[in-house]
Chain A
């Protein structure tokens, strides 16, 4: 897949008192992701072309994608497509990149959500509200041993925009 057409739409940077290896593990294992990502399990075959999926707590396929770049523990790029009917046809694939860099004794984690076409603010409100919650909780888990319990519902403006475009939502 040629990712040069993709442009960043959302960037979120967070600093974590941890090691690059532990941040990588948190981003790529079901055991840790369940704790900070509302019970959702990340399952990833860590090689270029490998499958990336996220399952909801009841085991349903929520997000499916593919590993595009894999450079542990520095960089992971994946396609990150929510399994809502017609979403990928209407919005194109979503690309997510995690960059992990040492910053003194702590770790700088940068999340970049990119798209190959312009995406409206209404649609992007989903990622803009979701990523800070997920990554705040990941940071708490790695620093204190306890993830945050953050109750989140998809933003109403996003659901309405998806509906108007004929994209199904749960």
Chain B
């Protein structure tokens, strides 16, 4: 059986540089990612963390950083005990010019067997990346209530 992975593609009217900035600057991520900050110096091997309202939710490291083309970090959720016991999974963003647009491909993979985070990330990324697209194109991110995602364990 194929290993589980989550892939999401979005086409965005922006530039690769602006999209890179939106993925790596907390000024932007707080707007489209439920007030989440991304904390790192974005060098390969450096620590990376997600911080929500002052509380660190994920800690991991930068695996690849090729601005503005490719960004990869490990992903280790630490708030939930079952998730904390799992080994980190891997998130990769590929940014490609597509005509006058940008094609963003997110791949989240390398999950532990039976990973408890698969349901949440599969429902979370479409909301986060939809909101990111709105912010870059219209200037206004989306206010999506977390309850609308219908994530197991968050109901």
Contacts and interface: CB of A to CB of B under 8 A. Distances in A.
22 contacts: A13-B123, A15-B126, A15-B142, A15-B144, A17-B140, A103-B144, A103-B145, A104-B145, A106-B142, A108-B144, A132-B10, A133-B11, A136-B9, A136-B133, A139-B130, A139-B134, A143-B134, A144-B137, A146-B13, A148-B101, A150-B11, A150-B101
Contacts of A14: 126, 130
Band of interface residues on A: 20 to 34
Nearest to A132: B9
The 4 residue pairs across chains A and B that have the minimum distance between CB atoms: A103-B148, A15-B130, A132-B9, A136-B11
B11 A137 contact: yes
B145 A15 contact: no
A120 interface: no
Contacts of A132: 8-11
Q: Is the interface of B mostly helix, strand, loop or mixed?
A: mixed
B98 interface: yes
Given A103-B144, A139-B130, A150-B99, A17 B9 contact: no
Contacts of A164: none
A104 B133 contact: no
A67 to B, nearest CB: 26
B11 A106 contact: no
A138 to B, nearest CB: 11
Interface string A91-132: 000000000011111101000000000000000000011001
